[in-house]
Structure 1
Amino acid sequence: MKKFLTGFLALVWMVVIFAFSAQDASESSQTSQSVSYRIAEWQSRLFGQEKTEEDLLEQAEGMQLVIRKGAHMSEYALLAVLLALHLGCYSFSGKKAALLALGAAAGYAATDEFHQLFVPGRAGRITDVCIDGIGSLAGVIFYLAVFSRKKRESSEE
């Protein structure tokens, strides 16, 4: 059951990534602009600033690149964790599962960027594959930190 669940979650997350990549340029831009604008609004309320609509839009535009690249890293960090969890259900050691997950996530990032070559207004970029790879690496480091801790705790019992 655990193998099925972890495999299912990894597959669902890959579909989510594919769906975001299938958005054309204007739809993708609207999504990130909306997120950036909400963050600017939240930050303005949190710090008691009374920014105008124009100020919020300008701040959102300035944050958009960081938001987009942060989303790339986050989605691939989660994918790497899900893949490592799935591979860990088999007889792979934590490190081997992490390395395989890193390779699979980076490989998926490359195919995802290739897919974007066929989406109107989008482009497949090597830099995005690298950013996704860094996110994947962060995910496997997180996985190893948690896995190592759990392993130590279970051996101490």
Structure 2
Amino acid sequence: MKKFLWTLPLAYMALIWTLSSFPADEFVALPDLSLDRIIKESLHLVEFGILYLLFALALYGNGQLTKKTSLLFAIIACLYGALDEIHQSFVPYRSATWIDLVKDVIGVTVAYYFVNRFYFLKKNKLEQKL
């Protein structure tokens, strides 16, 4: 059952790849173009943060969440963001920009910060009390 947790980030990566294979307005296009753009651009911050959190969940569920593995999978999530941007550069009506990659990395960094702040800091405090 614990190994099942690894299917979550892998399935999510497949979903990201599939959705980025379509034009940006393929599934949802809001009537207000500026609002549509703002929402879709801000999703970069969330999308890859979620990917890292799914990796962290899989690591935690399998007893493998350490500072080292957390950092490793944060880097993997960032690299997948870069790969996704390269992929989008070949998709008609999609774009790949450095600012999108920066937003992907910021999303991962924020999620990584919270995992490290709330998991490892509390874990260290508990260990010190014992």
Q: TM-score range by the shorter chain?
A: 0.7 to 0.9
1:79 aligns with 2:51: yes
Distance across 2 between alignment mates of 1:116 and 1:144: 31
Q: How much is the aligned-residue C-alpha RMSD, in angstroms?
A: 2.3
Aligned to 2:81: 109
Distance across 1 between alignment mates of 2:33 and 2:94: 19
Q: Which amino acid aligns with 1:24?
A: P
Aligned to 1:126: 98
Aligned to 1:13: 12
Unaligned stretches of 5+ in structure 2? none
1:140 aligns with 2:105: no
The number of residue pairs the alignment matches comes to: 128
Distance across 2 between alignment mates of 1:83 and 1:98: 8
Unaligned stretches of 5+ in structure 1? 35-56
TM-score (norm. length: structure 2):
0.81
Contact 2:85 2:97 (8 Å CA) reproduced = yes
Bigger Rg over Cα: 1
TM-score (norm. length: structure 1):
0.69
**Secondary structure of 2:91's aligned partner:** coil
Distance across 2 between alignment mates of 1:102 and 1:70: 19
| Percent pairwise identity | 30
Contact 1:23 1:119 (8 Å CA) reproduced = yes
* 4+ residue runs over 4 A deviation: 152-157
